[in-house]
Chains A and B, each alone.
Chain A
Amino acid sequence: MQYMALIYSDETEWASLSPEQREEIYGRYGALSRAAEEAGVMAGGNELAPTRDATTVRVRADETLVTDGPYAEVKEALGGYFLFECGTIHEALDWAARIPAAEHGAIEVRPVHVNPAEVQL
């Protein structure tokens, strides 16, 4: 089963880091991705641009309303995610705990819904 590990952390902390500190953290993410690939659990992942680059779209009464910024202004924003292929949520939590942002932010783990009878994308 696939699990999505949603990475929530304080964007202002990231913005305050030096290039060397960011490189060190990217290195840790790279190492985690490689370890997950070697273990056969890596199913994908993306880093998202910061929320200041977000655009939010709503449709109300057939009218499309577009606003700049994220859906919700929060201190700890969604910054990316991993997809892990694991047998149980406990195994997925083990991998999620290895994500560097778990040490200062929070990682939400959710099973990916798959119904073989339905059309998938």
Chain B
Amino acid sequence: MKYALLIYGDDSAWVDLPDEERAALRAAEMPKWVALFEELRKADPSVSGSELSGRNTAKVVRVRDGERIVTDGPFAETKEIVGGVFRIELPDLDEAIRLAALIPAAHGSGAIEIRPVVQ
């Protein structure tokens, strides 16, 4: 079964940091993510992931009566928004739960939503 692991977290503090501080924080976090990537590749060599840029880069488009309406900011008004997605082929949900718990963002205040992908 193919799963999408959706990473939810609060990026508001993160996006407001000066570039240098954000880069330093990122560099400090990176080894945890690299270890995760290795674990995910062991489970599925064709795993892929997309990290999304912060909420300040988001735009929302709606089309109503043929007219396009574009607004700035993310769709959800919640503190926690989607920050990235992994796509991974796994034998079952238990394995998806095990790997989701290894994602650094599952710790602290974040959460991982697991959704089967429709084939």
Structural contact, A110 and B52, CB atoms closer than 8 A: yes
Chain B positions within 8 Å of A102 at CB level: 61-63
Measured in the bound complex, the distance between the Cα atoms of B41 and A48 in whole Å is 22
Complex contacts, B80 vs chain A, CB 8 Å: 71-72
B59 surroundings in chain A (CB, below 8 A): 89, 93, 108-109
Considering residues A2, A6, A47, A103, which has the most beta carbons from chain B within 10 angstroms of its beta carbon? A6
CA distance A44 to B50 in the complex (A): 11
Q: A8-B75, A58-B111 are in contact. Are A107 and B117 (CB under 8 A)?
A: no
- Flag if A64 contacts B61 (CB, 8 Å): no
Check if B30 is an interface residue, CB within 8 A of chain A: yes
Whether, in the assembled complex, A112 has its beta carbon less than 8 Å from a beta carbon of chain B, the answer is yes
Select the residue from B63, B78, B112 with max chain A CB neighbours within 10 A. B63
Q: Is the CB of A55 within 8 A of B113?
A: yes
CA distance A59 to B34 in the complex (A): 19
User: CA of A2 to CA of B53 in the docked complex: distance in angstroms?
Assistant: 11
* Chain B residue contacts of A103, Cβ below 8 A: 63-64
A119 and B116 contacting across the interface, CB-CB below 8 Å = no
Residues of A with C-beta under 8 A to B6: 71, 78
Which residues does chain B contribute within 8 Å of A108, judged by CB atoms?
A: 58-60, 74-75
Cβ of A48: which chain B residues have Cβ within 8 Å of it? 4, 115-118
B25 lies within 8 A of chain A by Cβ: no
Interface string of A46-89 (1 = CB under 8 A from B): 11110101111111100010100011101010101101000001
Residues on A facing B (Cβ under 8 Å): 2, 4, 6, 8, 44, 46-49, 51, 53-60, 64, 66, 70-72, 74, 76, 78, 80-81, 83, 89, 93, 96-97, 102-103, 105-114, 118-121
Other contacts beyond A66-B97, A71-B111, A119-B30: 18, CB < 8 A = A4-B50, A46-B118, A48-B4, A49-B116, A54-B115, A55-B97, A55-B114, A57-B106, A64-B97, A70-B115, A71-B80, A71-B113, A97-B68, A108-B74, A113-B52, A119-B34, A119-B37, A121-B49
Closest 6 CB pairs of A and B: A57-B100, A121-B49, A47-B118, A49-B116, A108-B75, A110-B52
